[in-house]
Amino acid sequence: MHNIEPIINESRQVYIETINAVQDYIENHLDEEINIQKLCKIASFSEYHFQRIFKQFTSESLYCFIKRLRLEKAIFLLRCNRN
């Protein structure tokens, strides 16, 4: 019987790196329109698969992730801007 643990760990690492790349893109483009097609292209996944994997690894939906980051940025800017 073959041990598939290394294959599972390698696949998991690829998913983590892919999701991290997408998160980096989102964080660097919060002021722009972010569409699912562009993110799927970065991840090289179909829309369905991408959204499922994203939620599995981040514990929040793509929409909630983007919304949360935008709100956090707005709060930060409001707190820093004394005018």
**pLDDT value of position 83:** 65
pLDDT in tens, 60-78: 999 999 999 999 999 999 9
Distance CA 28, CA 15 (A): 20
Helices (H), the chain: 5-28, 36-43, 47-58, 62-80
Kindly report whether the global pTM for this prediction surpasses the value 0.75: yes
Task: Using the predicted structure, report yes or no on whether residue 1 has a pLDDT greater than 60.
Answer: no
Task: Using the predicted structure, report yes or no on whether residue 50 has a pLDDT greater than 80.
Answer: yes
Based on its alpha-carbon atoms, the radius of gyration of the chain, rounded to whole angstroms, reads: 16
Task: Using the predicted structure, report yes or no on whether residue 48 has a pLDDT greater than 80.
Answer: yes
Name the residue among 37, 29, 39, 40 with its Cα closest to residue 70.
Answer: 29
End-to-end Cα distance, the chain = 68
